[in-house]
Structure 1
Amino acid sequence: MKIVLDEGVTTTYDIILPETAALSTYGVSGETDAARTIGFRIKGNEGVATGLENNTTWTIQVGLQENVALANAYGYTVTVPGVGSATITNASWTDVGEVTINGQDVDISTGVTVTPVEKLTAKFVSWDAGSIVLEFNRPVDETMATTLTGSYGLSGVSGTNVSVDLGEDGMTVTFTVKDESFAPGDVIDIVAGMKDATFPGNTLGQRYAWTLEAGGGATMTAPTP
Structure 2
Amino acid sequence: MYKVFVNDKPLFLTNEIFKETDFQFFLLDSVDIKHLIVKMFRNKIQKAYLFHPDEKEIMKTLKAKIPVNKAGGGLVYNKKGEVLFIFRNGKWDLPKGGIEKKEEIENTAIREVEEETGVTGLRIKRKLQKTYHVFKRNGVYKLKIVHWFEMETDFEGTPLGQADEGIEKVEWKNPAQIQEALQNSYENIKLLFETEKLLQ
Bigger radius of gyration among the two: 1
TM range (shorter): 0.3 to 0.5
TM-score, structure 1 as length reference: 0.31
TM-score, structure 2 as length reference: 0.34
User: Which structure is higher in RCO with an 8 Å CA cutoff and minimum separation 6?
Assistant: 2
